[in-house]
Amino acid sequence: MTAVLTFENLKAQVEAREINTVLVCLVDMQGRLMGKRFHAQHFIENAWQETHCCNYLLATDIEMHTVDGFKSTSWQSGYGDYVMRPDLETLRPVPWLEATAIVLCDVLDHHTHEEVAHSPRSILKKQITRLEAMGLQPLTATELEFFLFEKSFDEIRQQGFQNLEPISAYNEDYHILQTTKEEAVMRPIRNHLYDAGIPIENSKGEAEAGQEELNIRYSEALLCADYHTIAKNAVKEIAWQQGRSASFLSKWHHDRVGSSSHVHQSLWRDGDPVFYDPDKELGMSDLMRQYLAGLIKYAPDMTYFLAPYVNSYKRFQKGTFAPTKTVWSVDNRTAGFRLCGEGTKAIRIECRIGGSDINPYLAIAAQLAAGIAGIEQQLTLQPPITGDIYEAQAPEIPITLREAILKLRASDMLRSAFGDDVVDHYYRAGEWEQQAFDQVVTDYEIARGFERA
C-alpha cells in the first residue's frame, strides 16, 4: 500500500512536477468534501498552514440553500469566514485524478482559532478525547453500500431522474459473474483507493440489482470517518469517469431494498480489546455490556445522525435486512444491533440502523457518546432477542425524520456529550429538511389523487 504523503514527500513530488494540484477540503454537515483546488506550489509555500472559507458551509442544506434559524451564522451576521487548517496527517495522493493530492482540514473560528464545535470532524474528535481520558481507544469500520446506474449523473438529471436503470438486471449478492461485468468501475475504485493509502479489503455485489458494497479495514475512529468520506467521493468520481453514476441515496425506489452503512465498533486499551472477556458469556466483558446497553437506550436520541433525511426512513421496512427495532441479537441481521465475533478477540458490535446517506463523523460520534453514557451510568444489558426480530414485541426505531429530530432536541445525553449549541444546530438542520419536504407536491400524490380525489 502506498503510504500517506508526508509534507516532505509532497514537496519533492511538486518539485519533480509529479503533483501540481492539492485539494484542500473540509467535511460539511452532509458528509461531503468542500474546499479549494490549490496550485501545489502555492500550497507548500503558504496554504499548508491555513486557508479560509465562508462559514455558510456548515449551515446549509444538501442543495446549499442558506437556511435561516442557525445561531452560528446568518444573513444578519453577514456570513463571515472560517479558517480551514490542513491536518497534514491526512495528506495523501489521489490516484484517480491527474497529478493531484488531497488534505482534510479542521475548521476553526476566524477570530479565536478554536475548533468550530458543530464541525463534524470536531464533534467526533471530542468523543474520542472523552474515551482517551478513560484510557480507551475506539476502533470502528463502516460498510459503504451504494447503487451503480447505467447512465451518468448528467444523463439521469436530463431525463428528470425517471426510468432509472441499475447497472445489472438481478440481485447480485456475492455474485461473481455479474460483478465481473462491473469491474470497469469497481476495479479502479478498489485499486485507486488502496494506492491512496486507504486500506480497502474487498468489494462485493449486494442484495439488489446494481447494488455494491465496499469494505474498508477497521481503524481508529477518526481515520475510519476520513476513509469513508474520501472513499464515498472517489466512488462517485470514478463512476463518473466511466460514464456511470453511483448513488448513496438510502432508498431510491420503493420496490428495491435500501442501502445501509453499518458501523462496527469496539474499544481497546493498550492494544488489547476491552470488549473481550473469555470468562464471560459470549466473551462479552462487563464494559461491553454497559456500552451496548447505552447504544440501545439512546438509539432513538441518535437516530437523526444515522438517518438524516426524509428519504432515510423509507429504508426501515420489514423483510429488507434493514432493522426496525432497537434491540440486540447474536449474529442476527434483523436486529438494530448485531453481536459479531462472539467468543473471540474480534468481538464487536455492529449498528445496522445507519443508511448509506450518513455523515460518518456524526454517526460514529453519536454512537460513541451513547456507549460512553452506558459505561458511565453502568447500564444493565437485557438478554439478546432471537428469531425474526421484525415480529418481536420490542421498542422501534423512530419511523420518520420528524420523530427523530424531536428525540434529538430532547436528548439530555447528547446535549451533555455534544453541547447545547451543537444539538440545536443539527436540530435546525433536520427541522429544515422536514419543512422543505412538506412543501413539495410529489408525483405519488398527483397520480393517486388527480382524478379520484
Tell me: the pLDDT tens digits for 257-272?
Answer: 999 999 999 999 999 9
CB atoms within 10 A of CB 72: 19
CB atoms within 10 A of CB 46: 11
Spatial contact of 195 and 3, defined as CB atoms under 8 Å apart: no
DSSP class of 25: E
Q: Mean pLDDT score of the chain, rounded to an integer?
A: 94
Q: Looking at the predicted structure, is the pLDDT value of residue 237 above 70?
A: yes
pLDDT at 56: 93
pLDDT at 2: 54
Q: Residue range 338-367: average pLDDT? A: 96
- For 186, the grid coordinates are 469497481
Spatial contact of 167 and 182, defined as CB atoms under 8 Å apart: yes
DSSP class of 57: G
Q: Looking at the predicted structure, is the pLDDT value of residue 256 above 60?
A: yes
Q: Looking at the predicted structure, is the pLDDT value of residue 107 above 60?
A: yes
Q: Looking at the predicted structure, is the pLDDT value of residue 288 above 70?
A: yes
- For 87, the grid coordinates are 491536518
Q: What share of the chain is helix, strand, coil (3-state, %, to 5)?
A: 40, 20, 40
pLDDT at 93: 97
Q: What is the pLDDT of residues 350-360, one digit of tens each?
A: 999 999 999 99
Cα(278)–Cα(287) distance, integer angstroms: 13
Q: Which residues lie closer than 8 Å to 29 by C-beta, 6 or more apart?
A: 58, 59, 60, 118, 120, 359, 426, 429
Spatial contact of 414 and 369, defined as CB atoms under 8 Å apart: yes
Q: Identity (one letter) of the amino acid at 95?
A: P
The answer to which of 64-68, 143-147, 290-294 has the lowest mean pLDDT is 64-68
Strand pairing partners for 52?
83
Instruction: Please report, for the chain, the start and end positions of each structural domain, with discontinuous segments joined by +.
Output: 7-116, 127-444
Residue 379 φ then ψ, to 5°: -65, 150
Cα(404)–Cα(34) distance, integer angstroms: 27
DSSP letters, 377-393, are TTPPPPPPP-S-GGGS-
Cα(169)–Cα(174) distance, integer angstroms: 15
Cα(423)–Cα(33) distance, integer angstroms: 22
DSSP class of 234: H
Q: How many residues does the chain have?
A: 453
Q: What is the pLDDT of residues 173-183, one digit of tens each?
A: 899 999 999 99
Q: Superfamily assignment of 7-116 in CATH?
A: Glutamine synthetase, N-terminal domain (3.10.20.70)
How would residue 334 be classed by pLDDT, with cut points 50, 70 and 90?
A: confident
Element (H, E) at 303: helix 299-306
Q: DSSP strand E in 87-136: where?
A: 92-93, 100-109
CATH match of 127-444 with 3.30.590.10: yes
CA angle 442, 158, 189 (to 5 degrees): 100
Cα(185)–Cα(277) distance, integer angstroms: 43
- For 306, the grid coordinates are 444515522
Spatial contact of 93 and 100, defined as CB atoms under 8 Å apart: yes
Cα(409)–Cα(415) distance, integer angstroms: 8
pLDDT at 148: 97
pLDDT at 3: 59
Q: Looking at the predicted structure, is the pLDDT value of residue 39 above 80?
A: yes
